[in-house]
Structure 1
């Protein structure tokens, strides 16, 4: 995983589409170029319907090799649906996940950041992922959804297992535990609603429509997992990028107003999502000079698209003053990440606070010892040991 970018660059040089196998052996097609990736992310001939995906996977690799419990228990959310279901679900979520509600979180995110930096300052060395990059977004999304503080560690463990490429039985156990917890949490919010986002979703309606019980549990899962996994690894990857490019870090220390644009560059340069969530063709789709037949899985590499030299000059160079925009780190089209504004704000506050407090931050060990998570979806470090002064 340490050489992901080099591998993807090599694959991009061999054509628009590359036949591959997913971690559990499912045949698929990998797309690595920017223009093709952006087009396919918005192409209605690529479906995200959860039921169809599991039927197709069972057909290709056998039902015994498919983690059906994941889809059945936690898959009824907007990321796993096509219009019109997707349109209905996203509209209901948007009623609770408003720009005003997100903007109102800034003071609390600043407070969380300050408290974590204060705790870090008591040490000479920390694992930045465990001490800072993880706790900031996990605390924010759990508070936003109304998850109790004592439950957050267990939740993070389930999430890591479910998004990894480990044993199927471990994933299934994590799915069942997560589902059981979220069912109880939704029931609590229905009985005793608070000011949190999940209570808002439980009681959200639109012209008489509302989320079903399965949809509520699945949506809570999506928002909790996506609401922290993306930002955890955005902060971690960005910090490593700055440690590797001290001249870019110096620019941000000298001029903190560059940080919003720098966050866009961090997302492009080494984003938190490796391959976009699964899609499959419901019709033949031409990609460049090749055709992906109907009934095939397609994997769009966001990392590769954001390093495409045909779209970004010197893509392998970090430039915090690069003109912002154009990357697909949060996806594209109707499935564009609903939490993108929150992730951007968290990263801006967290990274700005980190650089201001510890301008001499440095790696605590050899860079070659860093290990990335074993996940087809998540692109991030298991740990990032740093010296603070």
Structure 2
């Protein structure tokens, strides 16, 4: 019935409106209905055509007709280029549903790029529409989109920036457009925190990471999230990063405690968590271990031991939480071996500290 209704509408339009199509959207509809509208100008019938396309889209979605979903969304984009709803729907469909249907990595990466490019183009046309940069930031910061490390690496090589760098830029724009939207500020704070740790781990830019973490705390405060796990994580990470930046073993040891406490508030991997915080903390511990080695050579031995014990405590927590998804237990064993070697060096230099060494580190 609906297709017949649309054909009747378009047939009537063709009878009264004879000119050739003047736009890409009209030409696309002619392709959709070649026997009826090859020369139609939609005019006042546009709302009816749009409604039909949404009806058909909903039916196609229920029936799993992905080709029809893509076709209808593309047509809606062309018929109503300034309608953000179709753009958002299409970007989401590309980044999730169609990406998962691609068998090759290049195909999956192409779908993600299509989604992001689509949103960026729409932002140029609709610069005040907050939902566009918001979805772009969410896609770029979503672990589900970057489910494979190769996709993350491929994007970074082709775009010249990491997904989190793009997410921060997009969500900053969304926050500018919706200054009072608390959820936007919270999303931006999460992206800033992840980008900060990425910056530290990939390029060693501790000052830059500390600045981003401070910005993250500010956005959480702006969102009213003063007593939340997200804020405690941001503050704890900030303390660790600042201590590592300043090469201060005492502050680093003290900062690892609050970080462990904040991580305990996050759902573990076998109970809905992703393990992201745990993995990041494990990577940061390598930096802390290097600092401990440096202090063990030419700094106060007691400070080196305090840092080693703090590292040991949080490492034990991380191992327990990551146990259900661990793929390389040898890496944990190697790290513990290096940590025990550090403690041995400290005790060799300061034998009187032997009594302060935990049994597991002897």
Q: Give the TM-score taking structure 1 as reference length.
A: 0.24
Instruction: Compare the two structures and name the one with the higher helix fraction.
Output: 2
Q: Give the TM-score taking structure 2 as reference length.
A: 0.25
Instruction: Compare the two structures and name the one with the higher strand fraction.
Output: 1
User: Which is greater in Rg?
Assistant: 2
Pick 1 or 2: higher relative contact order, CA cutoff 8 A, min separation 6.
1
